[in-house]
């Protein structure tokens, strides 16, 4: 077969029911060519790429990350076609460009890919994505449970029904709720429905917790999940969330890359002799950043190996135990020093940023099957 070009840079604008295609040849001085719009069926994709393969010996395909997931990437990769998924937030955009269409988006992807201006994201394997979906399902259940508790407490407050105990949702609090009598039968029904919803959400969380504990031990990243629990404040669900969202941490060459991926580095606007730093960038994976910031609160107390942490140590090598203790001593001291001169929220974020460096070090020390 005769090819008119050795390489084509193909941009795809992928939607639920359609895919817009454009390509740019590697030959100098050539314009981007728009192919048009096709369906998302495999037969439509195969037909379009047969035509593209007739134009070049190599195809280099890109499309933006979005709600459609990774199925197209995996399908094209199985066909032997090089494919990358691009981070939408890192696509260069011209300030004066106010026209956005599917055709223009596909052409822009092809043009920028040829220029080497696009940043690809990490595509997880099928097994990794399955654990991530299970972890996110548990996170959604916890969010629904929290919302249900807020609704019930707001309803009781409107009725001036107050719990005087110290701990909410403790056994004593649940006994108090069992004795609640509302002013009218209709309001009693509302109360019982809110309480029943909380019970159902609790059961849902327990089911998902059980599924995580059953599936994770067979996961190839399970040793890393276990090793991260050597860190103070990082328990099973936190370790699962971190690894499910971040994947194999060995792909980061330096801990600063991990900090940047988590959005924990400071933003900056500098010009001339003036240097100005702002809050953290908050780019990257917000699920992992959230649980890491929550874990950082554990270092506000003095360094100590608690009974729960000692139990987690039992299955870990001494090297990881020593690294965990080193991290705890440093982070607890760091927390106290920063707290003396900064707001507590800034301190927690700073501790979370340093935690990510120790987590990276642990990941480098854990042997994995792949």
Residues 32-51, mean pLDDT to the nearest whole number: 96
pLDDT single digits (tens) 127-178 = 999 999 999 999 999 999 999 999 999 999 999 999 998 888 999 999 999 9
Distance, CA of 77 to CA of 243 (rounded, Å): 24
> Does the structure show a pLDDT above 50 at 1?
no
277 contacts: CB under 8 Å, gap ≥ 6? 266, 267, 268
**Half-sphere exposure of residue 319, counting CA atoms within 13 Å on the CB side?**
8
C-alpha 65: how far from its chain's center?
13
Query: What is the average pLDDT across 45-74?
Result: 94
Are 85 and 64 in contact, with CB atoms under 8 Å apart?
Answer: yes
pLDDT at 2: 47
The DSSP call for residue 23 is: E
pLDDT value of position 86: 96
Selected residue with higher pLDDT from 28 and 61: 61
Q: Is 306 exposed, middle or buried (CB count within 10 Å of its CB: 0-12, 13-18, 19+)?
A: exposed
pLDDT of residue 5: 57
Q: What pLDDT, on a 0 to 100 scale, did the predictor assign at position 46?
A: 96
Residue 225 contacts residue 246 (beta carbons within 8 Å): no
Q: Give the tens place of pLDDT for each residue, 192-204.
A: 999 999 999 999 9
Confidence of residue 284 (pLDDT cuts 50, 70, 90): confident
CB 165 within 8 A of CB 214: no
Over residues 233-283, the pLDDT tens digits come to 999 999 999 999 999 999 999 999 999 999 999 888 887 778 888 889 888
User: Residues 205-233: pLDDT tens digits?
Assistant: 999 999 999 999 999 999 999 999 999 99
Residue 269: its pLDDT value, please?
A: 81
The whole model's pTM is what? 0.90
CA 201 to chain centre: 23
Is pLDDT of 101 > 80?
A: yes
Is 16 a residue whose pLDDT tops 50? yes
CA distance 129 to 133: 6
pLDDT band for position 4 (50/70/90)?
low
pLDDT of residue 29: 81
DSSP E strands: which ranges in the chain?
5-14, 19-25, 33-38, 56-64, 82-86, 266-271, 274-280
State mean pLDDT over 113-119: 94
**DSSP structure string for 343-363:** -HHHHHHHHHHHHHHHHHHHH
For helices 318-339 and 344-365, the axis angle rounded to 10 degrees is 160
Structure tokens at 234: 């990082």
Average pLDDT, integer, range 68-96 = 93
Helix segments in 116-235, DSSP class H: 126-158, 171-178, 185-215, 222-228
How does strand 56-64 pair with strand 5-14?
A: parallel
> Which pairs count as long-range contacts for 132-135, CB under 8 Å and 24+ apart, including other chains?
132/244, 132/245, 134/208, 134/211, 134/212, 134/215, 134/244, 135/212, 135/237, 135/240, 135/241, 135/244, 135/245
Is the Cβ–Cβ distance between 227 and 362 less than 8 Å? yes
**Nearest CA-CA partner of 363 in 225, 202, 232, 235:** 225
Q: Which residues contact 299 (CB under 8 A, 6 or more apart)?
A: 232, 233, 328, 331, 332, 334, 335, 351
Q: φ, ψ for residue 343 (rounded to 5)?
A: -65, 150
Task: Give Cβ neighbours of residue 317 (< 8 Å, ≥ 6 apart).
Answer: none
């Amino acid at each position: 077969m005769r090819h008119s070009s050795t390489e084509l840079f193909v941009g795809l604008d992928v939607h639920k029911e359609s895919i817009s295609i454009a390509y740019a040849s590697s030959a100098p001085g050539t314009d981007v060519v728009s192919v048009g719009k096709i369906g998302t069926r495999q037969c439509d994709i195969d037909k379009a790429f047969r035509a593209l393969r007739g134009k070049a010996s190599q195809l280099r395909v890109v499309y933006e990350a979005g709600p459609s997931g990774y199925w197209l990437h995996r399908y094209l990769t199985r066909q032997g076609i090089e494919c990358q998924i691009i981070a939408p937030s890192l696509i260069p955009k011209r300030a004066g460009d106010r026209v956005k269409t599917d055709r223009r988006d596909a052409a822009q992807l092809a043009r920028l890919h040829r220029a080497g201006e696009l940043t690809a994201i990490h595509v997880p394997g099928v097994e990794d994505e399955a654990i991530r979906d299970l972890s996110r399902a548990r996170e959604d259940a916890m969010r629904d449970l929290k919302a249900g508790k807020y609704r019930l407490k707001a309803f009781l407050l409107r009725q001036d029904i107050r719990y005087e105990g110290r701990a909410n949702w403790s056994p004593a609090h649940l006994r108090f709720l069992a004795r609640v009598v509302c002013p009218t039968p209709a309001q009693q029904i509302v109360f019982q429905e809110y309480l029943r919803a909380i019970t159902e959400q609790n059961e849902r969380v327990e089911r998902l917790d059980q599924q995580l504990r059953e599936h994770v031990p067979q996961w190839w990243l399970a040793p890393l999940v276990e090793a991260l629990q050597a860190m103070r404040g990082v328990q099973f669900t936190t370790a699962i969330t971190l690894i499910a969202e971040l994947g194999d941490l060995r792909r980061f060459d330096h801990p600063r890359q991990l900090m940047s991926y988590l959005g924990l580095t400071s933003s900056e606007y500098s010009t001339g002799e003036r240097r100005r730093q702002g809050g953290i960038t908050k780019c990257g994976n917000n699920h992992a950043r959230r649980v890491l910031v929550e874990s950082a609160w554990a270092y506000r107390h003095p360094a100590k190996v608690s009974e729960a942490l000692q139990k987690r140590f039992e299955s870990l090598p001494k090297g990881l135990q020593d690294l965990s203790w080193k991290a705890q001593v440093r982070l607890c001291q760091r927390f106290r020093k920063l707290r003396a001169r900064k707001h507590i929220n800034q301190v927690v974020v700073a501790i979370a940023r340093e935690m990510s460096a120790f987590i990276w070090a642990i990941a480098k020390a854990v042997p994995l099957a792949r």
